[in-house]
């Protein structure tokens, strides 16, 4: 489903001379109230068989005129809304088909689209192309025009279900109508609409009616209701809705409701078994999945968080200038957060993780394991407790595993899932589904995995279970920690040994963490080696602050006069410190303080102060060690004397975006001279201006240009920044804490 862009459709205020609502209840009345509130000056008419509703609508100022006969008002309107009960739509449509004038457009508000479509086809022989079936996802327990609420549709979704031959102009006008009321528009097929609504609306109402009815028939019902707490009140509130309306809905959407009810009954049976058997892990798994899903629902409503990034248009306005001073701790290391969940879930026993990154990518990994039956507590203030199920204890998820924007999750999951007994599909957001996955799929196939990919070797990946994997010796064609990790994880499920040779060193978190979980990985020069058939043992993981996140502040302090910043508890794994090495070679002042080891990983506090940077030829051996940090390193280069040259960086072409091209385009907007080559870029440092740049949905590019504003001669506007939440959910706030000025706004604001 795809939400349409509100800003691109003209308002109904300027194009519809008259509107007729047939059925002056809560929904129709609220639509009229919203239009009036928005300044609609055209004539509004209402048709209702109840004269009291018509009179009340006129007294409330919702309609100019009304009555029981729709023919009396059709000559004066261009748009007609059917807000009558589902079972009454067909006869009204039959009458409209005879009386409708050229150019008039019709829509409805019914909650069961298949039944309505079938009725119309039966009455008219087809669905007219001037009819746009729709359904606002909004309501209240009160009914009648007296309950009309002008804000009922604001920030709520309206689903439209056009047919293949629906008139595009009719569709545009109906979507414009709802946008004028403040609603968000989504398009679904009729069948998909009914499936979704059966589960998210019809089933909850059915259960509420059933529970209240059951308790109301008890002998001690007065005490039951007297002592019922808020949870009972909240859950059963919807049982106060119109019984006749809901009877008609269940009759109209019977098959989809019965299917949803069967799924619910299976879930209740599973929970009953867990309670009866005292199975605490099973109960925790069910409750934690439900709790996370409920929080996710809250985020959906506020459009804040993961799995809704594609529907959010977030923009940064980074003010020119600022300072960088203080002591801060950036979020936990994303690479380690992913791996701690993966290995903890596959371990025997309980694993406790501290410092877990509560960003979109890591949460997607966590949720994927919940969907495969792993009981996980948290995250709570960075603490996660994982009740491992062992290497062979995962269960088949009900549907595809959604991995958000996380390329790490996609590639590492491919290795883990290749060894399972069940089929699974891996998918992600639009950005992730554009990234090539052949680099993991091809070597996994050499091990015996069966993997289907989308067009061009891209996600979704469908991995067939039950395959016998065999270890391989594999030479990586280019340095990639994700591909190496994928093959090592698959190697746990393979017979024999798996060896991966790297053309250059890459981050070794997987090897270190496997060893920490009791599964040894040996290393000889450039080859990592693992034997199949072992096991993992749960334990404690302390995730240090992510050096990739710290990199933005390392550069920010380095380029800002007077800066003095300390970054606390940062991971300084030797395979990750390319950014420090490169900045130091450019002249940066970076001190490593209080060096220590935490959960097998080296950690330090980093003190960085302003220094005059100079351009360098970036050493080839440092490129793999700083592959994620180059967007912000390009900003350092733009502030250095002379030219900085990068080569041997083809990997940057296949990250979340083509980072070389995307950064070059943005630097050019700011007036930074640069020359792109196939495997790198030359950047000439100097003064630069402000401007508007595109991040292309790449979180690291968005944050890099926010840092650039510290030395720009004007403000920098950065578009498409929602995915910053994948790795650094509190970046704007933390930037503000040290003296930067990064404002988060919705695009178009």
* Nearest in space to 19 (alpha carbons), one of 9, 28, 8, 6: 28
| DSSP class of 200 | I
| Strand, coil or helix: 708 | helix
Query: Which of 694-722 are b and which e, b meaning 16 or more Cβ less than 10 Å from the residue's Cβ?
Result: bbbbbbbbbbbbbbbbbbbeebbbbbbbb
Q: For residue 86, give both structure tokens.
A: 């589902």
Cis omega before residue 170 (within 30°)? no
| DSSP class of 347 | S
The whole-angstrom separation of Cα 441 and Cα 453 is: 8
- Confirm or deny that 101 is annotated as ligand binding: no
The whole-angstrom separation of Cα 308 and Cα 302 is: 10
* Nearest in space to 473 (alpha carbons), one of 450, 494, 500, 492: 500
Compute the 3-state secondary structure of the chain and give helix, strand, coil in percent, each to the nearest 5: 45, 20, 35
- Confirm or deny that 421 is annotated as ligand binding: no
* 529 in Cβ contact with 520 (< 8 Å): no
Q: For residue 14, give both structure tokens.
A: 């300027």
Does residue 442 carry a catalytic annotation? no
The whole-angstrom separation of Cα 161 and Cα 171 is: 10
Element (H, E) at 697: none
**How far is CA 490 from its chain centroid?**
27
| Strand, coil or helix: 251 | helix
The whole-angstrom separation of Cα 519 and Cα 388 is: 15
* 535 in Cβ contact with 390 (< 8 Å): yes
CA dihedral (605, 610, 611, 616) positive or negative:
positive
- Confirm or deny that 339 is annotated as ligand binding: yes
* 17 in Cβ contact with 74 (< 8 Å): no
Range list of H helices, 401-516: 407-417, 438-446, 481-491, 509-516
* 202 in Cβ contact with 260 (< 8 Å): yes
Cis omega before residue 541 (within 30°)? no
| Total residue count of the chain as it appears in this document | 749
- Confirm or deny that 655 is annotated as ligand binding: yes
- Confirm or deny that 628 is annotated as ligand binding: yes
- Confirm or deny that 700 is annotated as ligand binding: yes
The whole-angstrom separation of Cα 376 and Cα 351 is: 10
Strands 564-571 and 601-609: antiparallel
- Confirm or deny that 480 is annotated as ligand binding: yes
The whole-angstrom separation of Cα 428 and Cα 103 is: 42
- Phi, psi (rounded to 5 degrees) for 135: -155, 110
The whole-angstrom separation of Cα 711 and Cα 530 is: 48
- Confirm or deny that 334 is annotated as ligand binding: yes
Cis omega before residue 115 (within 30°)? no
| Strand, coil or helix: 564 | strand
Catalytic one of 248, 628, 648, 682? 628
Residue 477 C-beta-side C-alpha neighbours within 13 Å: 7
- Confirm or deny that 420 is annotated as ligand binding: no
Task: Pick out the residues of the known binding site for 3-phosphoshikimate.
Answer: 334-335, 339, 480, 482, 628, 655
Known binding-site positions for phosphoenolpyruvate: 334, 407, 435, 482, 659, 700
| Catalytic positions | 628
Could you list the residues known to form a binding site, using ranges. Answer: 334-335, 339, 407, 435, 480, 482, 628, 655, 659, 700
């Amino acid at each position: 489903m795809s939400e349409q862009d509100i800003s691109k459709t003209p308002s109904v205020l300027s194009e519809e001379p008259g509107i007729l609502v047939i059925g002056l209840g809560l929904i129709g009345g609220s639509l009229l109230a919203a239009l009036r509130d928005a300044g609609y000056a055209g004539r509004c008419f209402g048709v209702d068989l109840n004269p009291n509703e018509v009179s009340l609508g006129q007294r409330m100022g919702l309609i100019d005129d009304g009555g029981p006969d729709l023919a009396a008002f059709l000559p004066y309107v261009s748009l007609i809304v059917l807000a009558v009960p589902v079972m009454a739509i067909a006869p009204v449509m039959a009458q409209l088909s005879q009386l409708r004038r050229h150019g008039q457009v019709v829509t409805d508000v019914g909650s069961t689209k298949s039944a309505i479509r079938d009725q119309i086809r039966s009455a008219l022989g087809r669905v007219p192309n001037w009819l746009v079936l729709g359904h606002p996802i909004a309501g209240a327990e009160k009914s009648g025009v007296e309950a009309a609420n002008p804000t009922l549709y604001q920030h709520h979704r309206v689903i439209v279900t056009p047919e293949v031959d629906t008139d595009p102009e009719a569709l545009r006008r109906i979507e414009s109508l709802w946008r004028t009321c403040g609603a968000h528009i989504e398009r679904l097929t009729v069948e998909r609409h009914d499936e979704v609504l059966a589960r998210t609306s019809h089933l909850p109402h059915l259960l509420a009616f059933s529970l209240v009815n059951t308790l109301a028939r008890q002998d001690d019902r007065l005490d039951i209701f007297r002592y019922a707490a808020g949870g009972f009140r909240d859950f059963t509130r919807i049982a106060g809705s119109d019984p006749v309306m809901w009877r008609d809905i269940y009759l109209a959407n019977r098959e989809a409701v019965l299917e949803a009810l069967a799924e619910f009954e299976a879930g209740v049976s599973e929970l009953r078994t867990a309670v009866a058997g005292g199975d605490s892990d099973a109960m925790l798994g069910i409750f934690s999945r439900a709790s996370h899903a409920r929080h996710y629902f809250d985020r959906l409503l506020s459009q804040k968080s993961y799995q809704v990034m594609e529907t959010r248009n977030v923009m940064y306005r980074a003010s020119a200038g600022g300072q960088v001073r203080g002591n801060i701790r950036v979020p936990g290391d994303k690479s380690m957060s992913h791996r701690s969940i993966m290995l903890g879930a596959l371990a025997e026993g309980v694993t406790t993780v501290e410092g877990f990154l509560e960003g979109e990518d890591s949460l997607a990994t966590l949720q994927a394991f919940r969907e495969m039956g792993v009981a996980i507590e948290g995250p709570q203030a960075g603490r996660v407790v994982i009740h491992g199920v062992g290497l062979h204890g995962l269960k088949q998820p009900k549907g595809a595993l959604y991995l958000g924007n996380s390329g790490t999750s996609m590639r590492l999951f491919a290795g883990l899932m290749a060894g399972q007994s069940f089929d699974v599909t891996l998918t992600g957001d639009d950005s992730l589904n554009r990234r090539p996955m052949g680099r993991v799929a091809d070597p996994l196939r050499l091990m015996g995995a069966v993997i289907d990919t989308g067009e061009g070797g891209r996600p979704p990946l469908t991995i067939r279970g039950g395959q016998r994997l065999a270890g391989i010796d594999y030479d990586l064609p280019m340095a990639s920690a994700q591909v190496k990790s994928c093959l090592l994880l698959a190697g746990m499920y393979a017979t024999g040994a798996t060896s991966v040779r790297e053309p250059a060193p890459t981050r070794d978190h997987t090897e270190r963490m496997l060893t920490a979980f009791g599964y040894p990985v040996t290393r000889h020069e450039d080859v990592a080696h693992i034997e199949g058939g072992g096991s993992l043992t749960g334990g404690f993981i302390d995730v240090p602050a992510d050096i990739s996140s710290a990199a933005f502040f390392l550069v920010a302090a380095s380029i800002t006069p007077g800066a003095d910043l300390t970054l606390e508890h940062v991971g300084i794994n030797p395979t990750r410190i390319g950014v420090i090495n490169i900045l130091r070679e450019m002249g940066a002042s970076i001190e490593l303080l209080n060096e220590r080891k935490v959960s097998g990983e080296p950690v330090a506090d980093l003190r960085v102060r302003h220094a005059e940077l100079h351009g360098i030829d970036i050493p080839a051996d440092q490129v793999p060690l700083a592959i994620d940090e180059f967007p912000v390193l390009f900003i350092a280069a733009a502030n250095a004397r002379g030219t900085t040259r990068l080569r041997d960086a083809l990997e940057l072409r296949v990250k979340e975006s083509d980072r070389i091209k995307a950064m070059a385009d943005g630097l050019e907007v700011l007036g930074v001279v640069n020359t792109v080559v196939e495997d790198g870029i030359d950047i000439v440092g100097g003064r630069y201006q402000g401007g508007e740049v595109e991040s292309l949905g790449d979180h690291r590019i968005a944050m890099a240009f926010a840092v650039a504003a510290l030395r720009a001669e004007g403000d920098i506007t950065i578009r498409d920044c929602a995915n910053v939440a994948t790795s650094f959910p509190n970046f704007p706030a933390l930037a503000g804490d040290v003296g930067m000025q990064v404002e988060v706004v919705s695009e178009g604001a």
